[in-house]
Amino acid sequence: MQTFYFTLSLKYELCVQLYIPGINSVVMKADNGKRIQLPVRNLRPHVSPMGIKGRFRLMIDDNNKIKSFEKVA
């Protein structure tokens, strides 16, 4: 199992793009410098009227399947 941490700060105007049909994933840079592709459905629950702000943890299994994506701070 691997764990990646992200610090995200997106304005609401950018978060609206997470709901555009055909956009299925985003690429983010983890704190360790690795680029990670994540389905937008994992980000949508974290959108607020302010956008997305905070520190997040992504846990994946040995087959690169997402086990959890959660806000930690």
Domain with 21 in it = 2-71
pLDDT of residue 22: 94
How many domains are contained in the chain?
1
**How many residues make up the chain in this entry?**
73
Our CA angle for 33, 6, 65, nearest 5°, is: 85
Q: Which one, of 33, 44, 45, 38, lies nearest residue 59 by Cα?
A: 38
User: pLDDT tens digits, residue range 9-64?
Assistant: 999 999 999 999 999 999 999 999 999 999 999 999 999 999 999 999 999 999 99
DSSP states of 24-44 as a string?
-EEEEE-TTS-EEEEEGGGTG
pLDDT of residue 69: 96
What pTM was estimated for this model as a whole? Answer: 0.86
Q: What is the CATH number of the domain that holds 31?
A: 2.40.50
3-state secondary structure of 11: coil
